[in-house]
A and B are shown apart, each in its own frame.
Chain A
């Protein structure tokens, strides 16, 4: 039987247009010589400058109380710029030249980002080595640079400025000048931007700022330093206030000091323990994150953070997802949203102090200082923040173990790459996968078996609302080309009922049981094919000795695709059939391409979301793109990454080797890494077009390009209709239209079913809605017909205000009579039969009446 593909309901997305991608603007503000001891809110007692702007950022964002920089400005700036420690770049004291061969954060963005970011640095540069190469900022990827090129200004009111390769003199207070330049530059941008604003304040010389920018008239260097901090704070506030509302909402702000407070200013740390020392007073700096993507507000994070981490963090904020991080830079983006884990176990910093290389490593509690001459110091930095009690000669056994660990870690960092830093770097193939002695090498395969068939049966998706439930009747047959392995796709009739107004319940329902076996489908696609990413037998790790399945380690189907033994035969839609029906295991390329061509590969952000189905809890499922909490459409990124280290197994009863992605468990959820939660969903308002019209939800799921692609859990009230062992509907589809008899008002006519197009005026209920369209429809136009049925004579009464054209047509298509005029028309002598009476007026078709002569 030849079937006609049933038309699915039309998605609003079919006319998708595209928008600019909405990753945030980045404002990185660097203060010069400002430690935590002079910054409010970092746990250090004593008087502080009055900094309402920084206070506001801290209260509206996240403060990091254990952030290490380096002891001086140049190596710290080089560390942010390169994402590497000084030992890697050779920049360990000023002046130092950060060679552009170390890819800067700006060049990395140019290389990796799908967006054309405008990028500028304003203020202090000082990583060029004082060699006079004024193109150095451009070589590091900047569109625009202006500022103080070397260490400092001699006079805050009279100084030389380098601007894009040329030099000019400035006689304006430096902090104010940089702020004006920043305001002007941002105002000129009409695309996403990244501004590195490096104030030279409050670095010496200690010059009193202009009136109005500080609170207390200074009397000495310390109070002048405080006034300079206050002026900087004031000007940062002016800059932030200059941003328009859209920029304010879409900008992430980092504020950081480049090293500790100078010893001449600090009255907290012991002498010799401030700036230019490897002690806490030299290393520990304030770091505040606020604005876009910073969900933790008013919190203080004590996790160990390094100034290098800004590099990877900014990249991930720009949707350049990394395996933990890159180089020596660990992305702390997860901390901006979630505080559920510690990212760094050991922190590191290094420095060249009077021609001697020194370095420090620390855990949360203990710190080891070493130098190239073999000197060592060991401190409990929780109990002894001043580092006055060197424990190196009186270590407890526990301290000895930690000291040995720190010493070994420093040696590895300095000679190569740490295998304990949560970053894929050096020769690592995945995060920290060193010392792998597993004999097995995972064979991953990502090539699907393609499309080999065009559907010759209808694909039915019929949605209707009943008892506050969204009912979805389907025959589970794909609406697109497909292929098959041993099992051909066939029609499996199912009815899914989900809440029409779904609610988050507070419970997480996984798609697998506690024993790892499939429990339920995630949802149903908008063509009726169900979504079931979890694998089943035989794609489970087998004990090498017994053959017993270990369900803790199931194959990740999309990473084990292909037509060979041991591979999952996924087709061009990441799907295949089994006895339960054809189902999607991952990114359903072929399906979505039939909805919106190129949607699976495009880097352009559509202006409207693409609804591709419904989760089993009733929330909508979008494809790749969706609105964020602020309504900006963007590509939604998952928050999963491959685990660090090596699998715990012996290779016999459990797999061994690196976490490659062969098994689903190789991935772990890292809260805050991407946009989406553990269930690949997001709390954001979205409006989608359904057969009911426009419907709005405050939560939705996403099918993503990367793992997990199809979500693996649900957060709402899950319908039992999606249980893996739920039965299909039984019944016959006599007319082959995809509807079994109980859902088809005429199962002998494939042109009549709930999805059929209703033909006006033929007295046939094609769409099974229980309503006929007939002659009565013409009454709305003021036209009446009677009698009907009749014996060969009937009349038509029209209004007299217009001229009417009446055609009486036989079922053969022959026009029997053609009358024009208005008022009463009489048709006489019509033979027995069924006729159609088409009526129009002034060229406009009004309707058709079915006339029965008997």
Chain B
């Protein structure tokens, strides 16, 4: 029996459970701040009326920038979708913020992503400045402010 294993790294460590939830993970990379998003494909299709259509990166980028706002160190930064993949029922995207600073001291986030879905939660994971912090955003909490004492 061959023991040659074909292994892929998971695109985004999926710690989500079976609730309506999107995961946003903001982390540092050599190229700057990187945002990984994982969310339910069907929810996205339903809200945007995309039944039977493929998921297009630019449309998704537009939707992200309409439903979220990222103010980093006092400057609003636009999201650019760099990679998009669909794995089973989930969409996974990698985004960046063009021109954003390498070091995040302050984040003001407005997030209404998929909130038209009943009981939708958006979990924000910040892997920044040597620690991981998590927040849950939902209908009753569409804005958070996070400060780092650097």
Which residues of A approach B to under 8 Å, CB–CB? 464, 466, 471, 484-488, 490, 495, 515, 517-518, 535-540, 542, 546-549, 551, 565, 568-569, 576-580, 724-725, 727-731, 740, 742-743, 754, 768
Residues of A within 8 A of B7 (CB): 727-730
Instruction: Identify which of residues 122-143 in chain B touch chain A, using a CB-to-CB cut-off of 8 Å.
Output: 123, 125, 131-137, 141
A577→B16 contact, CB < 8 A = no
Q: Is the CB of A578 within 8 A of B16?
A: yes
Return chain A residues, CB-CB under 8 Å to B8. Answer: 727-728, 730
CB contacts (< 8 Å) of B38 on chain A: these are: 579
Structural contact, B15 and A536, CB atoms closer than 8 A: yes
Q: A485-B19, A729-B6 are in contact. Are A546 and B119 (CB under 8 A)?
A: no
**CA A102 – CA B43 in complex, angstroms?**
61
Residues of A within 8 A of B90 (CB): 579
With A487-B18, A547-B141, A579-B16 known to touch, is A725 a contact of B6 (CB < 8 Å)? no
Knowing A538-B21, A727-B10 are in contact, say whether A549-B5 is a contact too (CB < 8 A): no
Task: Tell whether, in the assembled complex, residue B1 and residue A549 are in contact, meaning their CB atoms are under 8 Å apart.
Answer: no
| B53 touches A (CB below 8 Å) | no
Contact partner of B17 (CB less than 8 A), chosen from A471, A535, A551, A731, is A535
Query: Are B123 and A537 in contact, CB atoms less than 8 angstroms apart?
Result: yes
Contact B15–A518 (Cβ < 8 Å): yes
15 further A-B pairs in the complex, CB-CB below 8 A; given A517-B132, A539-B17, A578-B16: A485-B19, A536-B16, A537-B16, A542-B135, A547-B136, A547-B144, A548-B134, A548-B144, A548-B146, A576-B17, A577-B18, A578-B15, A725-B13, A728-B8, A743-B2
Question: By the criterion CB–CB under 8 Å, are A537 and B15 in contact?
Answer: yes
Q: Which of B19, B23, B131, B132 contacts A486 (CB 8 A)?
A: B19
Complex interface: chain B residues within 8 A of A547 (CB) = 135-137, 141, 144
Find the A residue at minimum CB distance from B18: A485
Option from B13, B40, B89, B141 in Cβ contact (under 8 Å) with A724 = B13
Please provide the 9 A-B residue pairs with the shortest distance between their CB atoms, ordered closest to farther: A485-B18, A579-B14, A536-B15, A549-B134, A486-B18, A730-B6, A547-B135, A537-B123, A725-B13
Q: Which of A486, A540, A542, A568 has the most CB of B within 10 A?
A: A486
Question: Given B1, B18, B87, which contacts A578 in the complex, CB threshold below 8 Å?
Answer: B18
Residues of B close to A730: CB separation below 8 A = 6-8
B5 touches A742 (CB 8 A): yes
Inter-chain contacts of B134 with A (CB < 8 A)? 537, 540, 548-549, 551
Greatest chain A CB density within 10 A among B3, B132, B133, B137 is at B3
Number of A-B contacts (CB under 8 A): 111
| Residues of A contacting B136 in the complex (Cβ-Cβ under 8 angstroms) | 537-538, 540, 542, 547, 549
B144 and A466 contacting across the interface, CB-CB below 8 Å: no
Which B-chain residue is minimally distant from A534 (CB atoms)? B15
- Cα–Cα, bound, A517→B127 (Å): 13
Q: Which residue of B lies closest to A548 (CB)?
A: B135
Are A578 and B6 within 8 A (Cβ)? no
Whether A536 and B135, one on each chain, are in contact in the complex, defined by CB atoms closer than 8 angstroms, is no
Cross-chain contact A731 with B6 (CB below 8 angstroms): yes
Question: Considering the chains assembled together, what is the distance between the CA atoms of A565 and B18 in angstroms?
Answer: 11
Contact A490–B88 (Cβ < 8 Å): yes
Per-residue contact bits, chain B 34-75, to A (CB 8 Å; 1 contact, 0 not): 000010100000000000000000000000000000000000
Name the residue on A nearest B40 (C-beta): A486
Q: Is the CB of B2 within 8 A of A576?
A: no
A406 to chain B, nearest CB (A): 46
Whether B6 and A548, one on each chain, are in contact in the complex, defined by CB atoms closer than 8 angstroms, is: no
Q: Which residue of A lies closest to B10 (CB)?
A: A727
CB atoms of B20 and A548 under 8 A apart: no
CB-contact partner of B1 in A517, A728, A754, under 8 A: A754
Residues of B within 8 A of A485 (CB): 17-19
Most buried by A among B19, B38, B125, B135: B19
Contacts of A518 in B (CB 8 A): 15
Q: How far is the CB of B13 from chain A (nearest CB, A)?
A: 5
